[in-house]
Structure 1
Amino acid sequence: MDLIKNALTNDVLNTQCSDPFGCLGLQESPSKKGLSLIVWQPEAASIRVLAIDSDKELTKMSETDNQGLFLAEWPKTTTRFHYRLEITYKDGSVYTLVDPYQFPNTTFVDPEHHQASLYKSQGAIRAGAKVNDQITIQGTRFAVYAPAARSVSVVGDFNAWDGRTHPMSSNGDGVWRLFIPDVNHGARYKFEIRSKNGDVLPHRSDPYAHRIEQFPSFASVTCFDDKHVWQDQAWVNRKIEDIYEKPMSIYELHIGSWRRSGDNQPLTYLEIKDQLVPYVKEMGYTHVELLPITEYPFDGSWGYQPVGLYAVTSRFGTPEDFKALVDALHQANIGVIMDWVPAHFPADSHGLANFDGSKQYEYPDPKKGWHPEWNSLIYDFGKDHVVNYLISNAVYWLEEFHIDGLRVDAVASMLYLDYSREDGEWIPNKDGGNHNYEAIDFLRRLNETVYLNHPRCFTVAEESTAFPGVSKPTYMNGLGFGFKWNMGWMNDSLTYIKRDPIYRQHHQGELSFSMVYAYDEQFVLPISHDEVVHGKGSMIAKMPGDAWQKFANLRAFSAYMYFHPGKKLNFMGNEFAQGQEWSHERSLDWHLLDIDFHKAQQSLSKDLNHLYQNEPSLQYDHSHYGFEWISYDDSANSILAFARKAKDSEEHTVAIINFTPTPHGNYRIGVPRAGRYQVIMDTDDTHYTGSGYAQIKEYSTEFSVSHGRNQSIELQVPPLSGVLLKWLGES
């Protein structure tokens, strides 16, 4: 008995036991004359041992001291058996439970898994302990990687958050495991970790939790509610197509502020589903891109400081509710992209920071592991378990939630060791340079895993530098992304459009330069949330001039974006000229649609999307064969003219964009072919609250040399406008 007491006193009693199965449950008695049942229940007054499948009493346990240690013994002839415990607590309450320490952790072996599917063998997983052919005990198997921990316990509502009650076991591989019977869906829990030096750390959320509560608890929640029946088979099993030759018009969305209820509460996943899906469908967008919906503690981070990469944020509902939203979008033939943040994570005490008392997830040296711009920690991409954790998470969203694309946030910060750092504040790589080789290897492995296992899915890099080959395959020494945001186009074009038209003639190159590198990468043209926040103002607020000119400028800019090669991305509200700068704390200004200017901008956005989807020449936007300059140097008039060409046919269109308020009644341009050209888009049309300057809607070419071409047309060019003409064939 002294041996037992000493073991418990030194380990379980002090919540520092790393091998609870060695001292709890059925044990060979110290005298080796039979079996001893040892139970640790510090708040119990008495305990009865019952048969596993009935209320038959097997014995009453004896309390060995006043510290919660109970003992029962059986003679040597007794064979091992399974049992339940009826516990009467000191407050008079009585509970019956199945002792977890009768199921050795060796019973639960991690299933074999793909390197990217660790989520199937980690975290809180519903499991059954098979007692015999008739009886299986339901419960939850908990697992957590904490190799530097001295001990780990599961704490939760089921044990009054008492770290003494459910110590976990580790077999030396760094993973702590415990099966707890009768813990089912909806149980709140965390991990209590004691570091090597004996300190009890703040309770940690489960890194693999599928649900995490909001402030103040941030408790993980067991989540086995798999009720959703997917109805998107036609979408997920669709023919694999070349996405570079398909239109992609992306509606970037922050769920919490798209629309709100009358009391300024965000819509739930189910509420937004009923409103968003028909709206996006009508507007002609091919995809929605969701700002991060992985769990995050601070509303003001918009999700870009996640603590809980495996959990759908509970702000708007359950994982099943979110699946319903994705499902409904797919049934409407709308793809779903989610912003994904593997670059950094915040230092919140319930998260990954110093997780087991050591730097398990972040680089140990702050010169490499601390992000000075965002006050967050940087994942250590040199550790296998970190890389596996992140890649498994990417696969999790594609497999479990049918996500179609991952837009990877802050890639530039991952690629460069000196990102946002001054001299002396960063650690060079082994060759003395500033590239983070470990992060580069991680990104390549990520993309290879995604495209190998999910060929209908794609990745997009938010990358703002000239790093080569971001969207080139890894076998070409690229990073392997499917697309890259064209931040150069975005910065140059916004800088240009904010200028007063009188000065634009001196900055024509800000618009034409993008075509110098347009095919170096597979580009998405983004006008994202970052451009309408933090004092930058809304898109309409950037435009110069009086009210009419502001909207005319915005219409011309919208046409320029859609006529320009590259996939399109617009943040919510841009489609109807949102008035205020975006705030995550309020709804978009939907009431503005009662004003003609705003309603007209929405109509133009809708028409441009549908034009893009239906016009083959605008879709061939990732090959230089699909574009031809006509005039890029008419800076005096601030006019651009170019042709867009369809693949494998003679179909083409001619775009003319006038960035001044001056109309031109007889502006001559050369065109690729003789024949007739019809105006299929004119942003100055009165339908869009334009001036209606151009009355002619169809032109025939003349044999007159212009812009190096034998055939040309003389057309009416409206003020502050974008015009697209479609070739109808020979006259």
Structure 2
Amino acid sequence: MLKVQVPEENLQAAYLFNTGQSYRADKFFGITRDKAELTFRVWAPHAKAVHLASAQCDWMPSEAFAMHPLEETGVWEITTTALKEGDLYKYAIETPAGDVVLRTDPFAHEYEKKPGVAAVVNTCPYKWHDGLYRGRQGRRHKLNQPINIYEVHMTSWRRHTDGSYLSYRELADELIPYVKQMGYTHIEMLPITEHLLDMSWGYQSYGFFAATSRMGYLQDLQYFVDEAHKANLGVILDFVPGHFIKNYDALYRFDGTPTFEAGDVTIAENVRWGTWNFDLGKSQVQSFLVSAALFWLEDVHFDGLRVDGVSNIIYLNQDAGKEDWVNEHGTAIDYAGVAFLQKLNAIIHERVPSALMFAEEATAYPGVTKPEGLGFDFKWNMGWMHDTLDFFELDYLYRTGAFNNLTFSFMYTFDEQFTLPLSHDEVVHGKKSLMHKMFGDRYNQFANLRTMMVWMMAHPGKKLRFMGSEWGQFLEWRDEEGLEWRDLQDGMNRSMQHFTAELNKLYRDEHAFWEQDFVPAGVNFSQTDQGAQGTMALMRHGKKPSDTIIMAMNTLPVQKDDYRVIVPRAGRYDVLLNTEDIAFGGTWQHIPTDYEAFLVGDHYEISVILPATGALIIKQKKQVRGKNNG
């Protein structure tokens, strides 16, 4: 092979990639454009030869498309004018064994529609219009802002009447105004990185730098994010850095040898998920995945990432058949996985300080949201979720004896910076929808669902709910079709949707709900030991004394006519929300809203009517200047 003089900057870029220090490797690999010339680069360290393959050469190795190695870096490249925007391509790789295999480009920004996996030449830039929004986000304190997430599976939120997907641009026109109207602050997308199997919901990906072609091009997704930002909505991506698709024409044995995965197949294979685990100890894999994360944050302007499967990354024993695996110290900690997540979060927080990093982590691993730990901003509180759902599924007869399900989370609520999730995982595979989980007949199911939502809002932590729960869809989520929008022809579902919108707006407007989520000063648990009565009240505090919200909740179907609520000071108090308001699907047509506090010993109380299976949100009226209200 003719020796080619390699520019020093290319050797430096390859060196940084190989040493795990290339944090935007996609700017070097994949395709770079210089006028009409396209340069293709790929990492295939053990290949004997690599050719660019396309329709121009009948997808066979051709000398006209031979790539040359960048010395001993494992990087191969070719510069050509033979391909243009929209053309398909792969790499024909000669393995150490002498076989020629076709592989798609791991760094591509677009792939052909399934079932094909060929990469598409796409180098078109997008012109952004969200500078004002991004500037505001950069000045906000991420822990002290309202975060109320609408979790969406983009291909099944709504579909055309013929069952076809809405495009990213159609979703921008329909989904964004809906989420805005409903009062959420963020949209979280289940993975939209390119994948083949619809039933994987995007969690079995092969295109870590590409938006799925099911709904359009990368530039169409960028338009969606741009429009969301113009509507003052953040957008979060579900990101999957732990594993990849099993197909043989993607990342697996990329150059004929274990390249992105470990050499030991028992380590590499993820039996439970039917995927291959990334070898997170490899420097090149670290460069690849950190670059992918930063691509979505920097080039696609996502506001944050929800990192999936953190437990699988930080433990050796999370997969089927590996329950007894331990490291050399006799524990199940995977040190390579821990080090990778620490590195990922440190780099993201340095380069994109406003980025919100969420960990989907289901164990008691310490310090997930600590700088000296894994370094995430937020951790999903799976314990709160399971305990809460278990409680509201209970027959009323057993609730007083199970109140610990609600109060146990108070024991650890400040151990991490938690997000409270009621996610897609809880409304599929026979688990029933949130509405269907609730105890009782249809009326009581709605009453329980409204009460549970108020409980969620009042509990410290950021919020996440999956699509369809906002109106109480009864059927489980099915990824192969759109949500049951026809439910909204029913008055109870419309009332539930109206309730969710009002509750969301109240959450957004009242600082007490989110300004001090992660410090003890943000909550007062003074009336949370009333399990025998099935009731509870607590206070949430903002930074200003006037920013205090009181939540009172009754989990039993018996109205409490003289329920005493402790309030912070003398004065008059308003009921801002009553879950049993007839407008929300309840039975109360006349809503008492004005209460005078009275002194009881060393504190003040108000006496309210607490509805059966219902909740109140209460706030002190603004004091008239110059009057002494005690």
Normalising by the smaller structure, the TM-score range is over 0.9
Q: Which residue of 2 aligns with 1:220?
A: 119
> In the aligned structure 2, how far is the partner of 1:180 from the partner of 1:110?
20
- After superposition, residues 277-676 of structure 1 pair within 5 angstroms as 277-422=176-321, 426=325, 428-473=326-371, 477-619=372-514, 620-676=516-572
Report whether the alignment pairs 1:720 with 2:613.
Answer: yes
2:88–2:118 CA contact under 8 A, matched in 1? yes
Q: Which residue of 2 aligns with 1:91?
A: none
- After superposition, residues 240-255 of structure 1 pair within 5 angstroms as 240-255=139-154
Q: What letter matches 2:10 in structure 1?
A: V
> In the aligned structure 1, how far is the partner of 2:197 from the partner of 2:207?
12
Q: What letter matches 1:609 in structure 2?
A: N
Which residue, 99, 121, 127 being the options, matches 2:34? 127
Q: Which residue of 2 aligns with 1:37?
A: none
Moved more, 367-376 or 281-290: 367-376
- After superposition, residues 141-152 of structure 1 pair within 5 angstroms as 141-152=39-50
Report whether the alignment pairs 1:167 with 2:60.
Answer: no
> In the aligned structure 2, how far is the partner of 1:606 from the partner of 1:111?
53
2:242–2:277 CA contact under 8 A, matched in 1? yes
- Structure 1: 5+ residue runs without aligned partners? 1-18, 23-102, 129-137
Q: CA 1:108–1:514 in structure 2 vs 1: closer, same or farther (change >3 Å)?
A: closer
Query: Greater Rg, structure 1 or structure 2?
Result: 1
> In the aligned structure 1, how far is the partner of 2:169 from the partner of 2:332?
46
Q: Which residue of 2 aligns with 1:27?
A: none
- After superposition, residues 253-272 of structure 1 pair within 5 angstroms as 253-272=152-171
Q: CA 1:366–1:638 in structure 2 vs 1: closer, same or farther (change >3 Å)?
A: farther
> In the aligned structure 2, how far is the partner of 1:713 from the partner of 1:236?
44
TM-score normalised to structure 2 length: 0.94
- After superposition, residues 94-243 of structure 1 pair within 5 angstroms as 109=10, 115-127=22-34, 138-165=36-63, 166-170=65-69, 171-201=71-101, 203-226=102-125, 228-238=126-136, 239-243=138-142
Between the two proteins, what is the percent identity of the paired residues?
38
1:680–1:725 CA contact under 8 A, matched in 2? yes
Q: Deviations over 1:623-665 (max 9, x none)?
A: 1101011222222221111111111434312111111111011
Using the TM superposition, give the Cα deviation of residue 223 of structure 1 relative to its aligned residue in structure 2, in angstroms.
0.6
Q: Which residue of 2 aligns with 1:51?
A: none
TM-score normalised to structure 1 length: 0.82
> In the aligned structure 1, how far is the partner of 2:72 from the partner of 2:322?
41
1:694–1:717 CA contact under 8 A, matched in 2? no
- After superposition, residues 33-112 of structure 1 pair within 5 angstroms as 109=10
Three-state SS of the structure 1 residue aligned to 2:30 is coil
Three-state SS of the structure 1 residue aligned to 2:479 is coil
1:105–1:179 CA contact under 8 A, matched in 2? no
Which one has more relative contact order, counting CA pairs under 8 Å at least 6 apart? 2
> In the aligned structure 2, how far is the partner of 1:214 from the partner of 1:605?
37
1:287–1:335 CA contact under 8 A, matched in 2? yes
> In the aligned structure 2, how far is the partner of 1:189 from the partner of 1:321?
21
> In the aligned structure 2, how far is the partner of 1:712 from the partner of 1:400?
53
> In the aligned structure 2, how far is the partner of 1:628 from the partner of 1:158?
70
Q: CA 1:309–1:634 in structure 2 vs 1: closer, same or farther (change >3 Å)?
A: same
> In the aligned structure 2, how far is the partner of 1:167 from the partner of 1:605?
59
1:450–1:458 CA contact under 8 A, matched in 2? no
> In the aligned structure 2, how far is the partner of 1:108 from the partner of 1:416?
38
1:625–1:645 CA contact under 8 A, matched in 2? yes
> In the aligned structure 2, how far is the partner of 1:572 from the partner of 1:307?
26
> In the aligned structure 1, how far is the partner of 2:201 from the partner of 2:454?
30
> In the aligned structure 1, how far is the partner of 2:260 from the partner of 2:594?
63
Q: How many residues align?
A: 614
2:239–2:307 CA contact under 8 A, matched in 1? yes
Using the TM superposition, give the Cα deviation of residue 278 of structure 1 relative to its aligned residue in structure 2, in angstroms.
1.1
1:250–1:287 CA contact under 8 A, matched in 2? yes
Q: Deviations over 1:153-198 (max 9, x none)?
A: 1100222212134221112210111112232211100011111111
> In the aligned structure 2, how far is the partner of 1:471 from the partner of 1:661?
39
Three-state SS of the structure 2 residue aligned to 1:561 is helix
> In the aligned structure 1, how far is the partner of 2:586 from the partner of 2:30?
58
Three-state SS of the structure 2 residue aligned to 1:308 is strand
Three-state SS of the structure 2 residue aligned to 1:412 is helix
Which residue, 679, 700, 712 being the options, matches 2:596? 700
2:552–2:565 CA contact under 8 A, matched in 1? no
1:105–1:169 CA contact under 8 A, matched in 2? no
Q: Deviations over 1:322-361 (max 9, x none)?
A: 1110000000110010000001112101111111111111
> In the aligned structure 2, how far is the partner of 1:266 from the partner of 1:655?
41
2:133–2:232 CA contact under 8 A, matched in 1? yes
Q: What letter matches 1:192 in structure 2?
A: A
> In the aligned structure 2, how far is the partner of 1:110 from the partner of 1:184?
26
> In the aligned structure 1, how far is the partner of 2:591 from the partner of 2:463?
30
Three-state SS of the structure 2 residue aligned to 1:726 is strand
2:235–2:302 CA contact under 8 A, matched in 1? yes
1:665–1:717 CA contact under 8 A, matched in 2? yes
Q: Which residue of 2 aligns with 1:65?
A: none
Q: Deviations over 1:275-324 (max 9, x none)?
A: 11111111111110001111001111010000110111000001111111
Using the TM superposition, give the Cα deviation of residue 720 of structure 1 relative to its aligned residue in structure 2, in angstroms.
0.9
Q: Which residue of 1 aligns with 2:626?
A: none
Q: Deviations over 1:521-559 (max 9, x none)?
A: 111110110011111111111011111111001010111
> In the aligned structure 2, how far is the partner of 1:424 from the partner of 1:291?
28
Q: Deviations over 1:554-599 (max 9, x none)?
A: 0101111111111110111111111211011111111111211111
Using the TM superposition, give the Cα deviation of residue 115 of structure 1 relative to its aligned residue in structure 2, in angstroms.
2.3
